[in-house]
């Protein structure tokens, strides 16, 4: 990894900016019930952490022997997921404040998510974050999901910043691996409720608790305390219509 300050901030969405795990699981269970699956078990779902929605659906279809077009399942996932926004997908306030403050300070920002573009747009718009995101990379923009580097490389190209000058914020092991494979610096903020092997986040430059991201400013050459900034800001809330249309990949 290169030294010095990073020139751009790229954030993952699910599990990093928003607490979407419970709603995603409820969405998956609702969709798969229609295909005869009584209940998608939590441990099976947890194996999909960090994967794209498309790759998750392939894995779940294989496990539960569901024979259905992944595109059709994807459309249902998008429809059911969006119906619960924004109340069922709360923000992580400190991470959201980091994104807002970086944008306000002139740092180019992007969100790179394995979710379909319609879900990414709906979440950002629903929480009033769209204006703070200069570029988006969603499932449709990448040939392969995380841990492949495609999403992060697409985000860097969209920002016009070299990969090695980008700093990634990620909560998942596949996401941290994807950042490393993209040649980017990475800060890992894993879910404290999830047990990982000690070496799981070895490629991350920093491993931080999600409620204190102050040290990230050292990597962006900033001096703002994101905890203070988060307290001063009103939590962005849903303020407009959710985008409409279909989606067919994460």
Q: Is residue 2 part of a domain?
A: no
Distance CA 76, CA 210 (A): 31
Whether residues 62 and 154 share a domain: the answer is: no
Tell me: pLDDT of 2 over 50: no
Mean pLDDT of 205-214: 89
Mean pLDDT of 227-250: 42
Q: Is residue 3 part of a domain?
A: no
Q: Is residue 246 part of a domain?
A: no
Whether residues 166 and 138 share a domain: the answer is: yes
Whether residues 71 and 168 share a domain: the answer is: no
Mean pLDDT of 244-249: 35
Work out the percent of the chain whose per-residue pLDDT is above 70: 86
Residue 55 belongs to domain with CATH number: 1.10.150
Tell me: pLDDT of 235 over 80: no
Whether residues 96 and 126 share a domain: the answer is: yes
Residue 228 belongs to domain with CATH number: 3.40.50.1000
Q: Is residue 168 part of a domain?
A: yes
Structure tokens that stand for 79 in this block? 């429809």
Distance CA 32, CA 37 (A): 6
- Identify the domain boundary among 51, 83, 115: 83
Among 108-122, 186-200, 220-234, the least confident range:
220-234
In angstroms, how far apart are the furthest CA atoms of the chain?
Answer: 54
Strand-strand pairing, 206-207 and 8-11: unpaired
Q: Which residue has the tokens 């800060």?
A: 187
Whether residues 74 and 129 share a domain: the answer is: no
Tell me: pLDDT of 211 over 80: yes
Distance CA 151, CA 91 (A): 22
Position with higher pLDDT, 160 vs 197? 160
Which pLDDT belongs to residue 244? Answer: 35
Tell me: pLDDT of 87 over 60: yes
- Identify the domain boundary among 83, 106, 123: 83
Among 48-62, 78-92, 210-224, the least confident range:
210-224
Which pLDDT belongs to residue 250? Answer: 39
Whether residues 78 and 121 share a domain: the answer is: no
Whether residues 109 and 209 share a domain: the answer is: yes
Whether residues 138 and 115 share a domain: the answer is: yes
Which pLDDT belongs to residue 222? Answer: 65
- Identify the domain boundary among 83, 101, 118: 83
Whether residues 29 and 137 share a domain: the answer is: no
Tell me: pLDDT of 218 over 90: no
Number of domains composing the chain: 2
pLDDT digits (tens, 9 = 90+) for 45-80: 998 988 899 999 999 999 999 999 999 999 999 999
Q: Is residue 1 part of a domain?
A: no
Whether residues 157 and 173 share a domain: the answer is: yes
Domain ranges, residue 47? 21-83
Half-sphere exposure of 17 toward its Cβ, with a 13 Å CA cutoff?
30
Whether residues 51 and 145 share a domain: the answer is: no
Structure tokens that stand for 211 in this block? 């409620």
Which pLDDT belongs to residue 3? Answer: 63
Q: In the beta sheet, which residues pair with residue 91?
A: 18
Query: Global pTM?
Result: 0.85
Whether residues 13 and 31 share a domain: the answer is: no
Q: Is residue 237 part of a domain?
A: no
Q: Which residue has the tokens 């990230």?
A: 216
Q: In the beta sheet, which residues pair with residue 206?
A: 187
For residue 146, give Cα distances in angstroms to 13, 74, 151, 180: 13, 18, 7, 11
Q: What is the layout of strands, in order, in the sheet containing 185-188? A: 135-137, 109-112, 8-11, 166-170, 185-188, 206-207
In terms of Cα–Cα distance, which of 116, 109, 115, 84 is closest to 95? Answer: 109
pLDDT digits (tens, 9 = 90+) for 113-171: 999 999 999 999 999 999 999 999 999 998 899 999 999 999 999 999 999 999 999 99
């Amino acid at each position: 990894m290169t030294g010095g300050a990073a020139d751009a901030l790229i954030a993952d969405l699910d599990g990093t900016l928003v607490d979407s795990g419970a709603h995603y699981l409820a969405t998956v269970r609702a969709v798969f019930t229609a295909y005869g699956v009584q209940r998608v078990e939590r441990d099976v779902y947890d194996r999909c952490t960090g994967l794209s929605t498309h790759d998750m659906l392939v894995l779940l279809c294989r496990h539960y022997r569901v024979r259905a077009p992944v595109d059709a399942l994807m459309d249902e996932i998008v429809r059911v997921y969006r119906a619960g926004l924004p109340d069922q997908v709360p923000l992580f306030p400190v991470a959201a404040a980091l994104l807002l403050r970086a944008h306000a300070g002139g740092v180019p920002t992007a969100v790179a998510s394995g979710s379909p573009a319609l879900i990414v747009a709906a979440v950002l718009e629903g929480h009033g974050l769209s204006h703070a995101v200069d570029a988006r990379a969603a499932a449709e923009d990448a040939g392969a999901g995380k841990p492949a580097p495609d999403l992060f490389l697409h985000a860097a190209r969209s920002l016009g910043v070299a990969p090695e000058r980008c700093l990634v914020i990620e909560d998942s092991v596949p996401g941290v691996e994807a950042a490393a494979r993209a040649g980017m610096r990475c800060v890992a903020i894993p879910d404290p409720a999830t047990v990982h092997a000690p070496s799981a986040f070895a490629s991350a430059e920093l491993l931080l608790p999600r409620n204190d991201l102050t040290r990230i400013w050292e990597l962006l050459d900033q001096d703002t305390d994101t905890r203070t900034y988060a307290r001063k800001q009103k939590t962005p809330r849903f303020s407009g219509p959710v985008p409409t249309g279909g989606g067919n990949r994460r």
